[in-house]
């Protein structure tokens, strides 16, 4: 796999996984738009591990504090996390729906949905409209210290929709959190925290699939390592950028981006279907 392709796909993954604009849609369309071949299972696994690296690099202190507090061990100086020692178990509860959805719908997500551009476009537009509504109607009065079980379950149920390409894991969970009246930075922070178990599970399953197929093929080791590092570092940077951005800005830019991008995809998919017919 050419190093240029590796870097482009890895940077696309790092940017779009954490911004609420759908990494699956961008990665599915990029090879087609650029005229490049699909990157395949091995590189998919590299991107999964890069995404996991990004969220762990950025939130390792949070996760250490959350995990220790969940078992009754006081540690850490983040006052918001300290005020809600149940966060570990709330995140665990929120992770159940995506586990069930991933198990039941994996074959669809990796099969017919993966190349269904009409579905991707519709999800980009639909979730974009929901995001705009949540950003406008959410009262933004609560942080992580006030987050409870019902909030976690609603956000977790929303995350289950992320198995459908075009949804965006961060987009749908931030939207659900805003509907639960969390403020924007808290919504994004919990979105990334609750994504960690799902990303970890996806990375481990992908690694197991690769192991079953004989491991990393000869000649792919360098591309794999570069993919992990490039997507991980890009993702880490864009988590920081989004959190900082949402302290002073609305989600309007991402809403407009999703609507325009989604409509373009629907139009292109319609033209392709008409030409094929």
Better-scored residue on pLDDT, 109 or 140: 140
Write down the mean pLDDT value for the chain.
92
Q: What pTM value is reported for the model?
A: 0.94
Cross-strand partners of 68: none
Is the pLDDT at 169 greater than 90? The verdict is yes
**Rounded average pLDDT over 203-231:** 84
**Rounded average pLDDT over 195-220:** 83
Predicted pLDDT of residue 277? 63
Is the pLDDT at 66 greater than 70? The verdict is yes
Phi and psi at 41, nearest 5°, equal: -60, -45
**Domain boundaries along the sequence of the chain:** 3-34+41-276
**Rounded average pLDDT over 182-191:** 97
């Amino acid at each position: 796999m050419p190093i240029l392709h590796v870097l482009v796909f890895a940077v696309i993954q790092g940017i779009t996984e954490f911004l609420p604009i759908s990494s699956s849609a961008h990665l599915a369309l990029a090879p087609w738009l650029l005229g490049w071949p699909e990157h395949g299972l091995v590189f998919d696994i590299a991107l999964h591990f890069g995404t996991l690296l990004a969220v762990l690099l950025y939130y390792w202190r949070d996760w250490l504090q959350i995990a220790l507090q969940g078992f009754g061990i006081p540690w850490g100086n983040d006052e918001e996390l300290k005020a809600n020692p149940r966060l570990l178990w709330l995140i665990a509860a929120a992770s159940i729906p995506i586990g069930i959805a991933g198990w039941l719908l994996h074959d669809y997500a990796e099969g017919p949905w993966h190349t269904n551009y009409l579905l991707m476009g519709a999800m980009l537009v639909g979730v974009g409209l929901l995001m705009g509504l949540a950003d406008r109607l959410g009262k933004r009065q609560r942080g992580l210290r006030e987050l409870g079980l019902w909030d976690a379950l609603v956000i977790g149920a929303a995350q289950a929709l992320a198995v459908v390409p075009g949804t965006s894991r961060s987009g749908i969970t931030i939207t659900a959190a805003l509907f639960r009246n969390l403020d924007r930075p808290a919504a994004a922070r919990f979105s990334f925290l609750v994504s960690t178990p799902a990303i970890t599970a996806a990375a481990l399953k992908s690694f197991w699939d690769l192991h079953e197929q004989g491991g990393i093929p000869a000649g792919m080791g360098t591309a794999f390592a570069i993919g992990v590092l490039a997507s991980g570092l890009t993702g880490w940077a864009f988590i920081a950028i989004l959190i900082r951005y949402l302290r002073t800005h609305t989600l309007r830019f991402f809403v407009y981006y999703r609507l325009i991008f989604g409509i373009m995809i629907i139009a292109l998919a319609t033209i392709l279907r008409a030409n094929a017919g």
